[in-house]
Chain A
Amino acid sequence: MDILEVKNLVKHFPVNKGIIRKREVGIIKAVDNISFKMVAGETLGLVGESGSGKSTTGRLIVRLMEPTSGSIYYNGQNITAMSQSDFRDLRKDFQIIFQDPYASLNPRMTVGEIIAEPLIVHRLAKGKDLDKRVDELLYLVGLSSEHARRYPREFSGGQRQRIGIARALAVNPKLIVCDEPVSALDVSIQAQVINLLQDLQKEFGLTYLFISHDLSVVKHIAQRVAVMYQGKIVEIAEKDELYQNPLHPYTKALLSAIPVPDPEAKIKRIILKGDVPSSINPPAGCRFASRCPMAREDCFEKECTLQDFGNGHLVACHSVTHSKNN
């Protein structure tokens, strides 16, 4: 069953100039008309380089930002149409885990207070029950109850990330947006946190939107993967399909950049020419066209939309569509 459906989601940020009278000189199209579905209990990996709009997508889903247009359906209910106050009760079902474990915990609150906050806000527990629940949550993420009285600064990055996970779990969410949860951690700690996330998913049937730029981490945790470039989803497929048979030229280039732990292995590295174009006022046509080794004439004119290539493998690319049709 689909737990979440994102339909034509758009988030534009205006770029203003001028001191007295602000003029709009451009629009950053952070998220530009993306659509995808998530099945309950799955992990969808969302990959892309910085500035591709993946974090914005995550924040739109937990409604930390209002979309410019488009809608998000949660269990068939359009949550973007709800006011923030109506959404408050549903809020429990959505949580977010942040990238930087040093910025995501309030330095003036104890770990116990941090984990208790969602429970207090939603009036889920009080007094002794509250303390018990906080202990439970700490235990769940591999910490112990005496950690509750300490301050975040006394913990390492990995431990802090565990605290952030405990806070997210406090309200028994259904869907967790993991916004690069391990990219700020040491590689040895990354594995521990990933395993913790997987264990918790099994135990509570959580659905993850796993945002990352690290393709090997995504390969480990995700069942399906969506690739974003400049605010668009360019390819989305089952994990094995995407990693073995990438169709979009951008995905191919990305995958060729994964380091292989074998010095003898000969991989053909696809090096893209040029830089990522500015996302302010992007040109018409495919965003990737100027850097694409397979670009055709129509790529510069017409935007491409996601086309189904079977088994839920969707690709947005004129050349790929063209070569399939011929």
Chain B
Amino acid sequence: MRLKKINFPLILGCLFILIVFVVTVVGFFYTPYDPNQMAIRNRFIAPSKTNLFGTDQYGRDLLSRIMVGGQTTLTVSIIAVTVGMVIGITLGAIAGYTSHAWDEFLMRIADGIYAFPSFLLALLLVTILGSGKTPIIIAIIIGNVPVFMRITRSNFLKLREMDYVMAARAIGASPWRIVFKHLLPNALGPILVQGTASFAAAILAEASLSYLGIGVQPPQASWGRMLREAQSFATLAPWTIVFPGIAIGLSVLGFNLIGDGINRYNSKD
């Protein structure tokens, strides 16, 4: 084997995501304070030994709220992107490998979804389903499906003309075998890169929807909600906006770096 260059983006990205995950997962079992416990006398305590990240306008501990808020933000984005990815890959594979008619039919629908602003879609869903996690998850899924459809389809169209796919057909391999053994493994690289970018986008989408007030409802915490609530006090108590901001930034940067790293790894062979 050749000596491989160290893949810094991948390592750094994994490190960031690891930090975010550890902090969030620990939040399930332990938080320094009750994240929803208000104590007006303790409001706007600057970061200190007792409150590492300080407190907000109700005197709630920010570190505890970030730990719990991460649960909302990360579960929403993980569920939404994973489901969107699976549906998108499936439909994209059908479009890219079966008939021209299916291709046209599915891709025109995908174009239609693409053309519809996803924020508007989210607002629509909230109106129908009421606010909470579910409409946000559904909105992000619908937004992600055409993205993965396109990337899967275009890779399938390219790969199905490769000689090794021809060889598999000459052998008499079934379409299932060709899709799962030859096309999908070779298309997975770009799909995963897109996946990491979509994670980053989903975190931002959840944050912005919560920021607009149509995500999770108070007193439940999410990173986007925390930003919204802290907005009015940004100059008075900057830490209330800085720490949730860092949490969002770190996860988005981490996922993007991982994507970059995967890309580098793939382009090696």
Contacts and interface: CB of A to CB of B under 8 A. Distances in A.
A156 B166 CA distance: 21
A64 B166 contact: yes
Contacts of A105: 164
Given A92-B172, A121-B177, A153-B269, A106 B164 contact: yes
Given A64-B166, A98-B163, A164-B167, A108 B173 contact: no
A30 B269 CA distance: 35
Contacts of A106: 164, 168, 181-182, 185-186
Contact of B171 (A91, A103, A104): A91
Interface in B234-269: 269
Contact of B170 (A94, A99, A122): A94
A298 B164 CA distance: 46
A109 interface: yes
A91 B170 contact: yes
B167 A98 contact: yes
A64 B164 contact: no
B162 interface: yes
Contacts of A49: none
A62 B170 CA distance: 7
Given A109-B181, A153-B269, A104 B164 contact: yes
Nearest to A98: B163
A305 B182 CA distance: 43
B117 to A, nearest CB: 25
A95 B170 contact: yes
A100 interface: yes
Nearest to B100: A22
Contacts of B172: 88, 91-92, 118, 121-122
Interface string B161-193: 011101111111110010001100110000000
B173 A117 contact: yes
A107 B170 contact: no
Shortest Cβ-Cβ A-B pairs, 8 listed: A104-B163, A91-B172, A108-B185, A103-B163, A98-B163, A118-B171, A106-B164, A96-B170
Contacts of A96: 166-167, 170
8 contacts: A91-B172, A95-B170, A99-B163, A106-B186, A107-B186, A117-B168, A117-B171, A121-B172
A167 interface: yes
A161 to B, nearest CB: 12
A108 B162 CA distance: 13
Given A109-B181, A153-B269, A104 B170 contact: no
A171 interface: yes
Given A91-B171, A106-B182, A121-B171, 9 more contacts: A62-B170, A91-B170, A96-B170, A103-B164, A106-B181, A106-B185, A109-B181, A117-B168, A164-B167
Residue among B162, B182, B186 with most chain A CB within 10 A = B162
Contacts of A151: 269
A109 B166 CA distance: 15
